[in-house]
């Protein structure tokens, strides 16, 4: 007889959010996966995920892509909730509880899961604003400076008024990652 998820009455796995100590997300993920294996519960605790996103950082003029946790202090677990699986997750080192009213696990909707698991590059533009002066760090206009006129986060582009020869300004479109704040 299949075990039933006591929160939804289903024998289908759902995604749940588990609260952890901040900075222990990856350790909790490893511990949960080992606990599921050691207790032969892979059919109940099916997947554990730490949502991350790629962040473009520029250090010393070099562009690097780093992985940052999208929701620090939280881990997603795809599981069928039974008293045994709940107990294993809840008593894993680093877990402080399930997210839900009175720490009762509430399954996420598919839309919520898709939103949390979608990794989109975060643009450096959040560190820059219209009207700020920037230096172009790559491309044909490398080392020229200008003032940000507009920022298009969706397309990762910005328009900059670049100071050219003889004090003339020219409006150019560059990638957000091609400039740094002065």
Set out the domains of the chain in order of their start, with CATH numbers: 14-117 (3.30.70.940), 124-181 (2.30.30.30)
pLDDT at 122: 47
pLDDT at 63: 67
- What's 109's DSSP letter? P
- Whether 178 and 137 have beta carbons less than 8 Å apart is answered as yes
pLDDT at 46: 95
Four-CA torsion 11, 13, 19, 23, nearest 10 degrees: 150
Question: Mean pLDDT of successive 10-residue segments in the chain (182 residues)?
Answer: 54 92 93 95 94 71 74 93 94 93 88 77 59 88 89 81 83 87 86
């Amino acid at each position: 007889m299949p075990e039933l998820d006591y929160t939804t009455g289903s024998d289908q796995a759902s995604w749940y959010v588990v609260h952890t100590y901040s900075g222990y997300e990856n350790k909790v993920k490893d511990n949960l996966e080992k606990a599921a294996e050691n207790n032969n519960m892979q059919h109940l605790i099916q997947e554990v995920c730490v949502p991350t996103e790629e962040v473009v950082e520029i250090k010393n003029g070099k562009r690097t892509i780093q992985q940052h946790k999208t929701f620090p202090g939280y881990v997603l677990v795809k599981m069928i909730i039974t008293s045994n699986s709940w107990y294993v997750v809840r008593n894993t080192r680093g877990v402080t509880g399930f997210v839900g009213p009175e720490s009762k696990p509430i399954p996420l909707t598919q839309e919520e899961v898709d939103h949390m698991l979608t990794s989109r590059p975060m643009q450096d533009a959040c560190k820059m604003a219209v009207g700020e002066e920037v230096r172009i760090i790559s491309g044909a206009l490398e080392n020229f400076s200008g003032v940000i006129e507009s920022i298009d986060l969706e397309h990762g582009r910005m328009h900059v008024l670049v100071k050219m020869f003889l004090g003339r300004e020219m409006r150019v479109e560059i990638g957000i990652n091609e400039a740094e704040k002065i």
